[in-house]
A and B are shown apart, each in its own frame.
Chain A
Amino acid sequence: MEPSASDREYFERAVAESLDGLYGAALRLCRDSSRAEDLVAETVMRAWSHFGALRDRQCFHAWLFRILTNLFFEECRRQAATPNPASLDAMVDDDAESDAPFSIFEKLHQPFLLWWGAPEREFLNCLLREHLERAIAALPEAFRAVFVLCELQGFSYQEIADMLEVPVGTVRSRLARARSVLQRALWEDAQAAGLLKSTVTAPSGDKSGEASTAQAAAGRHRHGPA
């Protein structure tokens, strides 16, 4: 059935409302602004050609992202002739710490590290947008898609599962792995960039240093009213 003038008006308005989010997601998925623009344009074209089949317009926003991610993975499959060395399976096999998620917070509170001030605040203050962008870009596609949809676009686990046509449990596990990989990348990036300069390793023979560090760590981890 040919879309009516009001359908067209609705479509244009709804696309305009979702456009920044679509472009933001496409940019993180494709890691290239030109490819991201192509992906969004293709998404809008496909959405228009299937618009008549959309029964519930409340779902329009999520439906657009579903099309966007489908197109992204189609593109990935087309490029599969040059396999990604950091494919999902390779990462699962290679990461010896798959059962122990990496946590920056726990790293910041290692008992042998001495921090002056509030380590979490210092770390976050040093963290630049480019560090975050780089860490997201380094995630393998399957993790990156889930991460972008949840963390950057705020979709629920169920919405993401529907978009990617995977069980909710898969969304949860990919998200957990993505967060772990991302935190490790941020930590290593910060170390390489010298952002952790305020971290002082207490000399092994310095008992007073160890004691004060341990006390500081214990103080931070003390359980009590927040």
Chain B
Amino acid sequence: MTAVRKISCEEALQHLYEHLDHALNATDAVEMEHHLETCRACFSRIEFEKQLKERLAAIGREQAPETLRRRLRELLRRF
């Protein structure tokens, strides 16, 4: 089994958002996870960004208003 390469905090912070966006390749993701298990500072940072990201994601969940639903039903009927 290959040992996981240790990465620095600087490197971890460079990839912070890619990690949160699930955009890291498998090797980089494992190295990041390993770093976060052993670095309290980076763990705290990423937890903060993760919570902020969750709050932002909630903004994207808007219920389409009934006026728009009616309008689309009407449009689709005419298609």
Contacts and interface: CB of A to CB of B under 8 A. Distances in A.
Interface string A87-128: 000000000000000001100000000000000100010010
Given A41-B72, A120-B47, A129 B59 contact: yes
A interface, over-half SS? helix
Interface in A141-195: 148, 150-154, 156-157, 175-176, 179
A45 B74 CA distance: 11
Interface stretch (A18-26, A68-76, A197-205, A207-215): A18-26
A221 B13 CA distance: 14
A31 B58 CA distance: 16
B48 to A, nearest CB: 4
Contact of B63 (A20, A133, A222): A20
A225 B75 contact: no
A21 B60 contact: yes
B44 A120 contact: yes
A20 B38 contact: no
A77 interface: no
Interface of A: 8, 11-12, 15, 19-25, 27-28, 33, 37, 40-41, 44-45, 48, 104-105, 120, 124, 127, 129, 132-133, 136, 148, 150-154, 156-157, 175-176, 179, 220-226
